[in-house]
């Protein structure tokens, strides 16, 4: 019984891996690879860092009694 459960679990895992690969492939086709390329090239890193930095500046201004912008 345990062997059949392991086999079923392995088959389910294999199918899920195929589904995930298929989804990644279709997403790349739809986005023409541009979104994935941007992430790999780190294009969003600066925007994210800037947002965090801006939030810190805004919070510092609020604490000092000023307006956030």
* pLDDT of 1 strictly over 80: no
Instruction: Write the DSSP string, 9-59.
Output: HHHHHHHHHHHHHHHHHHHHHHTTTHHHHHHHHTHHHHHHHHHHHHHHHHH
Q: What is the mean pLDDT of residues 49-67?
A: 74
Question: What pLDDT was estimated at residue 57?
Answer: 80
Average pLDDT, the chain: 79
Predicted pLDDT of residue 34: 73
Q: Is the pLDDT of residue 54 over 60?
A: yes
Q: Return d(Cα 20, Cα 38) in angstroms, integer.
A: 20
Q: Identify the DSSP state of 33.
A: T
Q: Is the pTM of this model over 0.75?
A: no
- Per residue in 12-27, pLDDT (tens digit) is 999 999 999 999 889 8
């Amino acid at each position: 019984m345990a062997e059949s459960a392991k086999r079923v679990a392995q088959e389910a895992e294999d199918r899920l891996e195929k589904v995930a690969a298929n989804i990644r492939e279709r997403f790349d086709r739809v986005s023409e690879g541009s979104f994935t390329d941007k992430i790999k090239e780190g294009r969003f890193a600066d925007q994210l860092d800037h947002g965090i930095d801006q939030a810190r500046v805004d919070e510092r201004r609020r604490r000092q009694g000023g307006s956030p912008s």
